[in-house]
Amino acid sequence: MKDMAIDIPVEPPAELKSLFIPIPPEYVEDAYNKDEYLVLVGPQHPGSGHMRIILRLKGDIIMDAIPDPGYVHRSMEKLAENRLYIQNIPLLERPSIMDPGNYNLGYVRVIEKAMDIEVPERARYIRTILAELGRIGTHLYDAGILAVFLGHTTGFMWPFGLRELICESFLRATGTRITSSFIVPGGIRWDLDEKVLDFINKSTYTLEKRLKGFERIFIKNPAVISRLRDVGILNRREAIEYGVVGPFLRASGVEYDVRRVEPYEAYPELDWDVPIAEDGDAYSRFLVRVEEIYQSISIIRQAISDMPGGPVMSEDLIGRIKEKDKVSRDIRGYFYRIFSKLKLPSGEYTVLTEAARGTLLYSIVSDGESNVPYRVRIITPGWAYLRGFMESLKGSRVSDLQAIYGSFGYFPPEADR
Amino acid sequence: MDEHIEFLKSGPLSLVKRWGAKWSLWPVHLVTACCGVELAHAYACGYDGERLGSLNYGICRQTNLIIVEGAITRKMAKVLRITWEQMPDPKFVIVMGACGLNGGLFWNGYHMVKPSDVVPVDYFIPGCPPTPEALLRGIRALQDKIMTGETNSTAKFSKADLSSIIEIPEEIKQKRVPTPPHSIAKAPVIQIDGQREIEWDEGANLIQTLKKDLEGLYISIEMTDLNRICLKTTPEKTPEIAERLKFTFDHVKSVNVVDVPNENKFIIEYVVSSYGVKDLMPVLLSIITEIPRDNPRHPSLAKHWPSADYMEREMHEFFGVWFEDNPWMGRNFLLSPDTPEYPLRKDFKLPRETYVLRGDSR
Amino acid sequence: MVTIFGLTISEIMNIMVKEGVSIPLIQPLIDFLLKIPIIQYVVALILWKPVFAVLILPGLGGLMISLLFIIWFERKLTARIQWRMGPLEVSRPIAGLMQPMADGMRYLFQEVIVHRGAHKPYFVQLPILAFIPILLPIVFIPAGSIYGINSPYSLIITVALLALIPVTIIAIGWASNSKFAYIGSVREAFMYFAYEIPFMIMVLGMIIIYGTADMATIVEKQGIWGAFLNPFAFLGILITTAMATSRLPFEIAEADQEIAFGPFVEYSGILFGLVMTLAYEKMYIMGLIVSVLFLGGGGGPAIPLLGDLSPAIWLFIKALAVMMVMAFLRSIYPRYRLDQALRIGWNSLISLSLLSLVVAVIVRFMGGV
């Protein structure tokens, strides 16, 4: 093919200048001189989310993939430095709004760790339920996106129909469909009554039944299997090297789950498995997450049946209120008085949480005097596995881009923060 | 009345034109932020936007509606404008979410733009995020606008003269605007490697092993919390440390920079951990160095730990720390080229909230 | 006296009325119209069988009706499978049947953008040129006694003309001058060879069975439907129909999530309306051919009230049924990758077509039909 290559100086296409492509012109020239070409996928493309991927193609094969993230960079780390600790709860749940339980939990646990707040047992169980509901919801969301990327619209609609159950559960439990901001330092905002827990319990059975149908039409569909198997392989060594997280790491054979490694909330008291796959291809990344949905369903059922009684707010915090001001046992009555003056002791506090798509790291640096954080560092799972995602693209075909994209469930608002 | 509605209302075939446009509002697949979750729900089987003849479609050339899903960043604003310009007339814009309305939760962010500054907007749908019902209601409202040519708010406000009912006491009227509840230290002291006494025997052993392996390369190795170890060193020794550690601590969980302007330094922190060794999995080892604020250069560790690469690029954009040998230095990765320089430094201030007194008409 | 080809107008009228479509149901109306001056010529011309075949059934009129119906049906069926309603509010009493009409009206009055990089003349005229290979085959497809041209080679001509459609699509992609359009065109070209060769082999098999390439004779000879004579060819042709009309497991050339409608990425307004319906129009022609070859063509219980129209209606219904089967595929399959589809084409389909050829020879030697 060397003879075929163009020998004249190549002028990079005009769109590369006008679209603020972050790649140097030499790279473009080099690609065109080697008989390769660049294709920009996104951000306005039916098969990309809120990001651009610059593909360097030779024929049908992807030689190189350069990400262009930041289209949804909403400057959260800076904003968090300017707000009270309690105001940051809704802010720091926005990276991935379909997974509010885990994102709230991660941030709130930093504050609890720094201030040594003991959380009552009932609150820990309810937090676990919310986190697992978010996990199911996110995995269903990603399954739907994967399906529509493969052109399977039914596989998009059914998980989104099932997600309505999750949204309804959140609605009944917390009052909103997705952005609940329900978990606060020291516990949760209010107690869930039996009716809500019963609804969540029943909806898990519906979910399980409907998932079987989804399995028939999408998961076990031979055409789907042929699209996903042996595509975008990350072996164990590569997955570790590029710092892949969560279910995508477990699909490559590494048994790492923060819920096991550094247990929190009610997880050590419940009985569940960590699904592992060995292949590291797109299909095992998908199957691991499907299996996690079943595990989450089991966790929710156990948590509901083992639910202890008692308060849902820590006495450490409630105790700061004078006896005559106590209007109710939950936090609604005196929210501001407890939380507006919250101050963390000086130092750095780092807490890991297993969000739906992987390890979520919140790191807060406090100076010990201000009631706003000095520095907040958020590493979302999407940002952590972006490198692995790009590496797994190399050597695949153009059509595999969407299959791999969907198999990673890459959600740019989460990665860009 | 804008030109698109005017076009639809003119001519003898006006009725057919308006009927066609009304029942065929196809939103383009331009997902701009997190409200896309509820947009997907509005078109999925729970709410089924296709009932209204509205079908989510791929490419801007073939559609006539943009649903801006929430926050628009500086980078996305250009894309929004280009997409809007590529769409054939007549075309419409609906903006979803509080962020699209006036910034919402991110109103004072350094990377945010209001969609109404970029494209002409037909309808705003408030909410964070708006429910699918609200979105479909917005589409209904747009359909009505196409038919009648007039923009009508779907929310009705009744106006009442409160001053006749409520007497505002004189002392409240004269009270000044309250100060925000934030209390921010003037000269904060940042202590990241504060040692704490924890009962953690494996940690003590691990620190002994590390001290032996990294003889002469560190200033101090301390236990800061359960499963957290802090290694303090100088910048030029970090590549050697990375070289020795990379087989046990095989990936980087976070690269962090803390700006301490009153001591004129940046604290660079690499948080590394292990996937390969089971016992080390819960341990997070922070490698801390300090560099001067006026000449922030630090050797890049992306060669040893590829997982640090994108985080170093990000920190370079946020703080202006130059990670030597990282090929992406001096270029934009996450931020738009027109963003203010090094926005996460402490001397870049965001606008603050203003608090107004209730009942204050001044 | 005005003469055309040496015939006076009244002689032409006589020919047209004698060879006109007779429909007992509306015969009084036709008789009445034929007495009004001027209008009688128009009515006689439309009812003249060759013109009727091209303009009404199975021609342009059938094409339009099937197009509007199948797009609605596809969206509605997909919606029902996906637990939702599908297009509805535009016309509630008839379940949103007007939806494709509304979309068409919107396209018609939308701006047509011809972008800077496009090869302008071809970009604009190719969508219209693509109609030639779509409309011409209809002339040769017989619906009972209604047909345009009767030829002993009608099947071969139809298949040859159909093979021109992908060429126009490739040209559309070239004129668009966009990378996605180029990729889509190349994919279309690859797919073209993968399905066209098995398709032709299977058609050849059916010609061997019937001993003729004249579609009218083929329909007459089908005492037993061709689908039962040669089920392998029937199955194979259904798969090639899905491939040729980019139905979902093989919607590769215009994969919207991958390459954004491939060759059609730059089209807007009514031009996109034209190119988007190309695949459906091709599907209609393929449906007609499948009905003629395998489902007994216009055969079926004759409806006396409809007269000559009865076989045409049967043919139309059979073609619609084939299209409905194709529409069903959308909701159960994702799309294959190009190399997988090519493997299916060059391995499985070729084997299937060769098998059907063997079956055809056996049937022929067993006595044929």
Within a 10 A sphere around the Cβ of C295, how many other Cβ atoms? 23
Statement: residue A19 has pLDDT above 70? no
| Total CB pairs under 8 A between chain A and B | 239
Across the range B175-201, mean pLDDT stands at: 73
Residue-level pLDDT at B32: 79
Across the range A224-231, mean pLDDT stands at: 89
ipTM: 0.84
Residues C106, B62: C-beta atoms closer than 8 Å: no
Domains of chain B by residue range: 3-148, 201-324
Q: Which CATH architecture has domain B3-148?
A: 3-Layer(aba) Sandwich (3.40)
Within a 10 A sphere around the Cβ of B356, how many other Cβ atoms? 9
**Residues paired with residue A253 on neighbouring β-strands, in sequence order:** none
pLDDT in tens, A168-177: 999 998 888 8
Q: State whether C42 and C191 are in the same domain.
A: no
Q: State whether C257 and C343 are in the same domain.
A: yes
What's the number of domains chain C is made of? 2
Measure A217 CA to nearest chain C CA, in Å: 7
| A235-240 contact pairs (CB < 8 A, 24+) | A235/A280, A236/A280, A238/A280, A238/A388, A238/A391, A238/A392, A239/A280, A239/A388, A239/B275, A240/B250, A240/B251, A240/B275, A240/B276
Q: B113 vs C24, which has greater pLDDT?
A: B113
Across the range B35-49, mean pLDDT stands at: 87
Residue-level pLDDT at C219: 82
Who among C81, C183, C259 is closest to A154 (CB)? C81
Measure A226 CA to nearest chain B CA, in Å: 25
Q: Which residue has the tokens 């925000």?
A: B180
Cα separation, C323 vs C329, in Å, equals 10
Statement: residue B362 has pLDDT above 50? no
Across the range B199-216, mean pLDDT stands at: 83
Chain A stretch 270-329, residues whose beta carbon is closer than 8 A to a beta carbon of chain B = none
Statement: residue B185 has pLDDT above 80? no
pLDDT in tens, A311-323: 888 777 776 666 6
Residue-level pLDDT at A139: 92
The backbone torsions φ and ψ at residue B331, rounded to the nearest 5 degrees and listed phi first, read -125, 160
| B330-333 contact pairs (CB < 8 A, 24+) | B331/A22, B332/A20, B332/A22, B332/A70, B333/A22, B333/A69, B333/A70
Residue-level pLDDT at B164: 67
Q: State whether C10 and C75 are in the same domain.
A: no
Statement: residue B99 has pLDDT above 60? yes
Cα separation, B335 vs C12, in Å, equals 77
Residue-level pLDDT at A138: 92
| Residue-averaged pLDDT of chain A | 84
- Residue A242 near chain B (CB below 8 Å): yes
Statement: residue A142 has pLDDT above 70? yes
pLDDT in tens, C89-137: 888 888 888 888 888 888 888 888 888 878 888 888 888 888 888 888 8
Across the range C251-275, mean pLDDT stands at: 85
Residue-level pLDDT at A28: 77
Q: B104 vs B289, which has greater pLDDT?
A: B289
Which residues constitute the domain of residue C35?
3-47
Going from the C-alpha of C161 to that of each of C240, C242, C262, the distances in angstroms are 16, 18, 23
Q: Which residue has the tokens 């890991």?
A: A352
Residues A223, C333: C-beta atoms closer than 8 Å: yes
| Residue-averaged pLDDT of chain C | 85
Residues C336, A223: C-beta atoms closer than 8 Å: yes
pLDDT in tens, A278-302: 888 899 999 999 999 999 999 999 9
Residue-level pLDDT at C217: 83
Residues A47, C249: C-beta atoms closer than 8 Å: no
Residues C248, A151: C-beta atoms closer than 8 Å: yes
Q: In A315-358, which ranges are continuous DSSP H helix?
A: 315-318, 335-339
Residues A164, B41: C-beta atoms closer than 8 Å: yes
Statement: residue A384 has pLDDT above 60? yes
Q: State whether C150 and C28 are in the same domain.
A: no
Across the range B240-269, mean pLDDT stands at: 87
What residues of chain C lie within 8 A of the CB of B51, using their CB? 84-89, 96
Q: State whether C30 and C116 are in the same domain.
A: no
- Residue A342 near chain B (CB below 8 Å): no
CATH superfamily of B201-324: NADH:ubiquinone oxidoreductase Nqo5 subunit (3.30.460.80)
Residue-level pLDDT at A204: 92
What residues of chain A lie within 8 A of the CB of B227, using their CB? 262
Residue-level pLDDT at A298: 92
Q: State whether C8 and C128 are in the same domain.
A: no
Q: State whether C257 and C320 are in the same domain.
A: yes
How sure is the predictor about B361, in pLDDT bands with cuts at 50, 70 and 90? Answer: very low
Helix (H) or strand (E) holding B310: helix B309-319
Pick the residue from chain B with its C-alpha nearest to A88. B105
Q: State whether C109 and C130 are in the same domain.
A: yes
pLDDT in tens, C311-369: 888 888 888 899 888 888 888 888 888 888 899 889 989 999 999 999 888 888 887 66
Q: Which of A257, A210, A225, A254 is nearest to A358 (CA)?
A: A257
Pick the residue from chain B with its C-alpha nearest to A362. B254
Q: Is the four-CA dihedral A379, A380, A383, A389 of positive or negative sign? A: positive
Measure B312 CA to nearest chain A CA, in Å: 12
Measure A387 CA to nearest chain C CA, in Å: 21
How sure is the predictor about B358, in pLDDT bands with cuts at 50, 70 and 90? Answer: low
pLDDT in tens, B153-178: 777 777 766 666 666 666 666 655 66
Within a 10 A sphere around the Cβ of B244, how many other Cβ atoms? 15
Q: Which of A315, A5, A285 is nearest to A139 (CA)?
A: A285
Residues B106, A70: C-beta atoms closer than 8 Å: no
Q: How many CA atoms lie within 13 A of B54 on its CB side?
A: 27
User: What domains can be seen in chain A, in order of their start residue?
Assistant: 2-68 (no CATH), 76-416 (1.10.645.10)
Q: State whether C222 and C244 are in the same domain.
A: yes
pLDDT in tens, A346-383: 888 889 999 888 899 999 988 888 888 888 999 999 89
- Asked if the domains at B3-148 and B201-324 fall in one CATH topology, the answer is no
Residue-level pLDDT at B169: 66
| Residue-averaged pLDDT of chain B | 83
Cα separation, A92 vs A100, in Å, equals 9
Under 8 Å between Cβ of A67 and A390: yes
pLDDT in tens, C35-56: 887 787 787 788 877 788 888 8
Residue-level pLDDT at C96: 83
